[in-house]
Homo-oligomer: A and B are copies of this chain.
Amino acid sequence: MNAPKRRILGIDPGSRMTGFGVVDVVGQQRLYVASGCIRTPDGAALAERIRVIVTGLFEVVDTYRPDETAVEQVFVNVNPAATLMLGQARGAVVSALVMKDLPVAEYTALQVKQSVVGHGKAPKEQVQAMIVRLLSLSGTPQADAADALAVALTHANHSHAALAAFTRQGLRIKGGRLA
């Protein structure tokens, strides 16, 4: 039986920059599809920044048509104003995905590092280097895009395990998703 292809969109939300990364999962293979950043205009009002994030993500979803999505759980910052802004960006990201009827999984930075590098204390650079290796990239993507690809790969590993477990239990799988 051929393994079905699942396309995962990973997102690293930020108030100034939201990274996205698209990865195809075919059996044990992880194939790079696309990645990039949605930059929000400095000094713009909240509504305008949110409009940029939502329409940007709509474009990404319409272009790459992912089956599943995964969003990085933002680490709670020491600065309350920054935490609020990060929360707002994250709310906008999840709103856009939900309105496109996509399932949204969440992973903490710790889970991402453990899944991609093997331990939770890995520095950012090691995560990036691992992304380049795991996806056979010819260059290092921008930091936010690399983080988004790492979230997508984390979801690929987690949901693969979940999928295998469900399959063993004899549950149905519909179009690559758990049904």
Contact = CB atoms under 8 A, between A and B. Distances in A.
A83 B74 CA distance: 12
Contacts of A1: none
Interface string A45-82: 11100110110000000000000000000101110110
A90 interface: yes
Interface of A: 45-47, 50-51, 53-54, 74, 76-78, 80-81, 83-99, 103-104, 106
Nearest to A69: B47
A90 to B, nearest CB: 5
Tell me the number of copies of this protein: 2
B97 A95 contact: no
Given A84-B86, A88-B91, A91-B87, A98 B51 contact: yes
Contact of A90 (B54, B88, B96): B88
29 contacts: A45-B106, A46-B94, A46-B106, A47-B98, A47-B103, A47-B104, A47-B106, A50-B91, A50-B94, A50-B98, A51-B98, A53-B95, A54-B95, A54-B99, A74-B84, A77-B80, A78-B80, A80-B83, A83-B87, A87-B88, A87-B90, A87-B91, A88-B88, A88-B94, A89-B91, A90-B91, A92-B95, A95-B95, A95-B96
A87 B77 CA distance: 13
